[in-house]
Amino acid sequence: MEKISKKKTNNKNARGSAAQFFVAGELCRRDLVAVVTMGNTPNTDVLCSNVEGTKFAHIQVKTFPPGNRKVTVGMKAEKDFGKNFIWVLAGIPPKGDKNDFVYYIVPSSEVSKNVKRMHLEYISQPGKKGQQRKDSNMRIIFIPPYKDPSGWSIEKYKNRWDIIEDLLK
């Protein structure tokens, strides 16, 4: 009989998928219509509309374990997709973790401006050994209580579901 290992796994993909459903569930709880795109739309994880279907918001969800210092967002975070594009940074605790869920609802314009600036500052400064830093496709956003070195913080966007609700009125 084959022995099955019960090692603890931290399935990042499963937590990312769960985050999209948690975000959609919260939006539905707020009397909006939310559909998870299941990866079929490159820049939209959750498509949200008002009940009448006359106004829409595109939501990109990025997941991090609560307590992390930062979340990785990639190069597309540098692009301002317009006022109806929102980033939701979702702190989803791994199975068995007692931390609370936490959400930061941040407009695309705010993300693009600050992520681009932070990355340019980072690569323009010398590395630990004085070397020129290499560019990469990685971009990051610091999670409160942490701030980027120049002081940008997303703290004011914590649980700001009203940003999406106001877009869809």
Encode burial over 120-151: b for 16+ CB neighbours within 10 A, e otherwise: eebeeeeeeeeeeeeeeeebbbbbeeeebeee
pLDDT score recorded for residue 7: 44
**Highest averaged pLDDT of the listed ranges 50-54, 92-96, 119-123:** 50-54
Residue 103 lies in a domain: yes
Q: Is pLDDT of 40 > 90? A: no
Residue 6 lies in a domain: no
Residue 24 lies in a domain: yes
| Residue range(s) defining the domain that contains residue 125 | 12-167
Q: What is the pTM of this model?
A: 0.89
Q: Is pLDDT of 8 > 90? A: no
Number of structural domains (the chain) is 1
Residues 118-167: pLDDT tens digits? 999 989 988 899 999 999 999 999 999 999 888 999 999 999 999 999 99
